[in-house]
Amino acid sequence: MELFLQFFVNGVMVGGLYAFAAIGIVLIYKATRVFNFAVGELVLLGGFFCWSCLTWFKFPVWLSLLLALTGAIIIGFLIERLTLRRLIGQPILAAIMATLALSQVFRGLMLFTWGPSTLPYPTKVIPGSPVMAGFVVISNELLWTFFLSIIVFLALGVFFKRYRMGMFMRATAENQQTAQSIGIDVKSVFGVTWGIAAFVAALGGIFMGARVGLGVGPTPLIALKAFPAVLFGGLESIPGALIGGLVVGILENLSGGYISPHFAEITPYIILLLILIFRPEGLFGLKRIERI
Residues that bind other proteins (CB under 8 A): 29, 35, 37, 83, 86-87, 90, 92-94, 96-98, 100-112, 115-116, 224, 227-228, 231, 235, 262-263, 265-266, 269-270, 272-273, 276-277, 280, 290-292
Least distance from C-beta 47 to other proteins, angstroms?
Answer: 18
Question: CA–CA separation, 208 vs 8, rounded Å?
Answer: 19
Least distance from C-beta 102 to other proteins, angstroms?
Answer: 6
* 137 vs 273, beta carbon nearer other proteins: 273
Amino acid at 287: K
Least distance from C-beta 7 to other proteins, angstroms?
Answer: 20
Could you please report the per-residue DSSP string of 164-215?
A: HHHHHHHHHHH-HHHHHHTT--HHHHHHHHHHHHHHHHHHHHHHHHHHH-B-
Q: What is the largest CA-CA distance in the chain?
A: 59
Question: CA–CA separation, 103 vs 115, rounded Å?
Answer: 16
* 5 vs 111, beta carbon nearer other proteins: 111
Question: CA–CA separation, 190 vs 80, rounded Å?
Answer: 7
Question: CA–CA separation, 75 vs 98, rounded Å?
Answer: 15
Least distance from C-beta 112 to other proteins, angstroms?
Answer: 4
Least distance from C-beta 289 to other proteins, angstroms?
Answer: 11
Question: CA–CA separation, 175 vs 170, rounded Å?
Answer: 9
* 69 vs 79, beta carbon nearer other proteins: 79
* 63 vs 92, beta carbon nearer other proteins: 92
* 167 vs 264, beta carbon nearer other proteins: 264
